[in-house]
Amino acid sequence: MKKFTSCVLAVALAASLLTGCGAPAANSDSSAAGKSGAATTITLWSHIDENWNPAQDKMIADFEAANPDIKVVRESFPYDEFESKTQTSLLSKEGGADVYQLWGGWAIDYAKTGAFSPVPDTYMEKVKSDSYEPVIGSFGYKGKYYGVPLEFNIEYGGLLVNTPKFKELGIQYPTTWDDMINIAKKNSSSDGAVYHLRGLDFVGWDTLPYTWLSMILSSGGKYMEGDKFNFNNPVGVETMQKLVDYVAVDKITNLDGLTNASDTEPYQKLFTSDEELMVPRGPWTVSEGIHVDGLEYGKDFEYVAMPFYGPQKLFAAETGWGLAVNASSKNQEAAWKFVEFWTDPDRVLDYNIACGMVPASKTAAHNPELLKAMPYLEPLVNILDGGKFIGYFNTDKLKENVKNTFIDIVNNKTPVAEALEKLDSTMNAE
């Protein structure tokens, strides 16, 4: 998932003093659709994305063809502005859009404010019956749901591999956890703090916490007791110690992915340099490697199954991109009609393929057309049932605190149990 930082409500309210509510930014990208003066016009807000926006326009065109009495206007904003504009409009309950395409984790902050319209019960029952567990978790609040999913945001189960380097070393891709670690140990090389090759670079903002949580879950452990964090347990300590040793003792990577001032992520180094052998990451990175970095899949890199640490194929996942309707919208019926049209399993499959997403819909995920279009998703489609909702909390806060905890243990040699006790206290105080 693309990394972004949640803004606190105070920031959003402050931003409302600086930016108007509901008016598109001067540099926003608006579609031509929906400007013909139809009886009912609704607006969709999203962020600018060269792959997503054309797919949204096609969805709008198909919807308008099937519903000639409703027009949809898409307004898309630069990614860095999108979250603050969304918060400003929803918290002020003035202006904004009728329908928002938004990150699922944001719904946790909005649901309790009454900013979103609850999903109609009959429609939600259909969504729930065809959805994987993690994709709706953040949309729920006190027995109601305030958004519907478009994707399964999966950040564990796939491994980017440096294909030319594997061929040069004359080795095969790993099939077990021990195999993966042994390959990483044998082929990592560094000169002091300068790395020539990181065998397995799991040290990143998203990759570190998701790797650790999967190690815990696949081992039969857990990290929460009810609604309280409990990382300081035998499985939590043992798995964190493993990750620390991979860096401090085995030196299969270093802390650059968390401390590098350039903000370059490990997967980006694999695409742009020869310093990475294997990097765990979500499947959306494949599209970036091909379309942004101009690499050839199969020649320059590949995406293979990442082995599980424990005997169970379990991993944590957060709720990804979805759709929600503004509670202040005066066109609720038309807005929900558009959302339901979009999330139909056949239509959303085309959208997922166009956007390089793993479908939230079980029906769409197991449609043969998905792997025909994106064969590299095969290792992930087979494990989707093992995805567990990460928990009802701000995931950016978890990632920030896991990052600080890991750096503290590696750099200061803080005992793992002591560091995890502090992590539990910090997270439970949030």
* pLDDT tens sequence for the chain (430 residues): 443 333 333 233 233 323 333 333 333 444 444 444 558 999 999 999 888 999 999 999 999 999 999 999 999 999 889 988 888 888 887 789 999 999 888 888 888 889 999 999 999 999 999 999 999 999 999 999 999 999 999 999 999 999 999 999 999 999 999 999 999 999 999 998 889 999 999 999 999 999 999 999 999 999 999 999 999 999 999 999 999 999 999 999 999 999 976 678 899 999 999 899 999 999 989 988 998 899 999 999 999 999 999 999 999 999 999 999 999 999 999 999 999 999 999 899 999 999 989 999 999 999 999 999 999 999 999 999 999 999 999 898 999 999 999 999 999 999 999 999 999 999 999 7
pLDDT at residue number 116: 94
Cα 167 to Cα 366: distance, rounded to the nearest angstrom? 32
- From residue 261, alpha-carbon distances to 27, 257, 264, 265, 409 in Å are 29, 9, 8, 11, 20
Is residue 145 classed exposed, middle or buried when 0-12, 13-18 and 19+ CB atoms within 10 A define those classes?
buried
Cα–Cα distance between 253 and 226 in angstroms, integer?
34
Model pLDDT, residue 218: 98
How far is the C-alpha of 154 from the C-alpha of 157, rounded, in Å? 8
Length of the chain (residues): 430
Whether residue 56 contacts residue 46, with contact meaning beta carbons closer than 8 Å, is answered with: yes
What is the structure's pLDDT at 111?
84
Strand-strand pairing, 387-389 and 315-317: parallel
Distance CA 42, CA 38 (A): 10
Q: How many helices (H) and strands (E) does the chain have?
A: 19, 17
Q: By the 8 A CB rule, do 385 and 367 touch?
A: no
* pLDDT reported for residue 192: 81
| Token pair for 124 | 């939600």
Q: pLDDT value at position 292?
A: 87
CA distance 371 to 365: 9
pTM, entire model: 0.86
- Note whether 339 and 323 are within 8 A (CB): yes
Which tokens in the block code for residue 205? 């903002």
Q: Pairing relation of β-strands 228-229 and 224-225?
A: antiparallel
Element at 161 (helix H, strand E): strand 158-161
* Amino acid symbol at 208: L
Report how far residue 199's alpha carbon sits from residue 236's, in angstroms, rounded to the nearest whole number: 24
Pull the structure tokens for residue 428.
């439970």
Token pair recorded at residue 375? 């064969």
Nearest C-alpha neighbor of 297 from the set 358, 356, 366, 367: 356
Residues near 128 by beta carbon (within 8 Å), at least 6 away in sequence: 136
